[in-house]
Amino acid sequence: MFGALLASVIFGGAPMAADDEGAARVRQSLNMLLPGLKFGEITPSPVPGLYEVVLGHKLAYVTENGRYLMQGTLIDIEMQKDLTEPRVNAIKSKAITSLNEEMMVIFGPEKAKHNVTVFTDIDCGYCRKLHSEIDQYMEQGIRIRYLFYPRAGIGSSSYAKAVSVWCADDRKAAMTKAKSGEPIENRECENPVQSDMALGEQMGVSGTPALVLDSGKMIPGYVPADRLIAILESESAGK
């Protein structure tokens, strides 16, 4: 588990706030014991002597002396509350809302009520179903921002289609055509497909479509427009 955690840390953390005394000790210990580890913000957890450490888009817990590192969910039993998920969602939210929209294929008006970022595979059946209903999402005030996640990997036909969509003169038309199963012109150019895939892996995407809300909450699989707007409205009401 720990090896997988280290392997998943591809990106450095965000700019760090000044550490308090305990966090500074944790940072110093981690730098000494794990000099190759890239980590971001270190903050006290609700448990005395235990600190939260941001690793890419994940969260780990480290003891104050830096000796013990734990990965998992921290539960407040008395309050019956998950303390880890909201923090992880906040990390993912910062990552997803800071992305450059010029590197996406977007359906919907710029000032839509809701943004949903979708990791998509051109050949995925439920990805195609979602896209076939794109007008329904837009009618509900949902703006769909596509990132590429060809599950078969680099060099696959799905990967080539993703690159061809990106390199097309009209990306939206090419996306719609490809997702309808129609052939599109094979093209190559500088593209974000591999970086999209790396981001998806960092964020824990395991299948497509994977929907990420601006709150950082991830919803796996196809969700019809009426159900998705209900989720988004509920999230907005809970803020």
Placement of tokens 């150019």 in the chain: 189
* 25 carries an active-site annotation: no
* 189 carries an active-site annotation: no
If we measure between CA atoms, which residue out of 159, 174, 94 comes closest to residue 120? Answer: 159
Cβ-count burial of 199 within 10 angstroms (0-12 exposed, 13-18 middle, 19+ buried)? buried
Q: CB 118: neighbour CB atoms within 10 A?
A: 22
Reduced to 3 states (helix: H, G, I; strand: E, B; else coil), residue 106 is strand
What does each C-alpha distance from 150 to 119, 163, 205 come to in angstroms? 9, 10, 11
Please tell me which residue in 27, 121, 123, 128 is annotated as part of the active site: 121
* 151 carries an active-site annotation: yes
**Is-contact 202 183, C-beta < 8 A?**
no
Please tell me which residue in 124, 128, 143, 145 is annotated as part of the active site: 124
* 124 carries an active-site annotation: yes
Please tell me which residue in 128, 143, 145, 151 is annotated as part of the active site: 151
Catalytic residues: 121, 124, 127, 151
